[in-house]
Amino acid sequence: MTAKLIDGRAIAKRLNETTAKQSLALTSQGVIPGLAVIMVGDDPASAIYVRNKERQAGKLQFNSVVKKLPTTTTQTELLALVARYNQDPEIHAILVQSPLPDHLDEEEVVQAINPVKDVDGLHPINLGRLFGNVGLHYPVACTPKGIMTMLHDQKINISGQHVLMIGRSRLVGKPMVALLNNENATVTLAHRHTGADELTALSKMADIVIVAVGQPNIVTANMVKPGATIIDVGMNRKADGKLTGDVADTAIEVAGYITPVPGGVGPMTIATLMQQTVQLAAWQNGLEV
């Protein structure tokens, strides 16, 4: 058996087409979705991500603002810029690109973003709403939200399924657990302190395995339940410069569905960022998308 590849690029393309229509509908009502991305320093990976976000926002004709600040930027200067965008009615979504230089307090920056403009869904208020499954409009971390879109697109059952989430970051693992719980999955959260034998045992039981730790081959073929769905969020650079995920290539021979790296989760993160920017613009103006 060879797993079916979940084509993230194709799903993202369809999502972007829907977002473009929604953006056009808002623009016709006098609301141009506004996205502000702040990048501090010159991290190469961050530069690529920001460039891709800027390109996609341009295609969708957003009011796209990218502010690149030097590594020497102070906490006071960064917080002042966030405050400015908080007050700008033409900016509906604010994203501060992570990681920040070591001398900056990322937690304070996240908490400084107006929760209604927190397009990354990292503010404690938005995380609380997510974990409480509150029936309100609020942003959710883009990668987990994009993964849910992928699972729904492929009509992969979630309710009642055993899901193993490997990785407990605030950006992926924790919000992913909440989203899955909210759709009635039985979720196990593993992390760097989970023993190798226990991780293998948990993985073998899981109907869906989601991996986001940045460690190549942490999930191998012998750890995969036959027919399981594998979502690989990892993005690692091999010695030859090629990208690889957290899941061994041989897992494709056991799984039922699997995401490729690249071309799986990555495109969905950016497409979801655009989707959520339009949603935030609509919500802030009392409109529906």
Tell me the C-alpha distance between 219 and 246, whole Å: 7
- 21: annotated active-site residue: no
Q: Of 64, 56, 117, nearest to 272 (Cα)?
A: 56
- Residue 204: which residues within 8 A CB-CB, separation 6 or more? 223, 224, 225
Which residues are 69's β-sheet partners?
Answer: 40
Sheet of strand 186-190: strand arrangement: 4-5, 257-258, 229-232, 208-211, 162-166, 186-190
- 4: annotated active-site residue: no
Which one is catalytic: 97, 161, 275, 276? Answer: 97
Residues annotated in a binding site: 167-169
Q: Of 173, 41, 167, 176, nearest to 97 (Cα)?
A: 41
Tell me the C-alpha distance between 140 and 276, whole Å: 8
- Residue 266: which residues within 8 A CB-CB, separation 6 or more? 8, 235
Residues annotated in a binding site for NADP(+): 167-169
Which one is catalytic: 22, 56, 117, 120? Answer: 120
Length of the chain: 289
- 97: annotated active-site residue: yes
**Helix boundaries (H) for the chain:** 8-28, 44-59, 75-87, 106-112, 124-132, 142-153, 173-182, 196-205, 265-284
**Residues 130, 115, 174, 13: is their CA dihedral positive or negative?**
positive
Which one is catalytic: 22, 53, 118, 161? Answer: 53
Cis peptide leading into residue 99 (ω within 30°)? yes
Catalytic (active-site) positions = 53, 97, 120
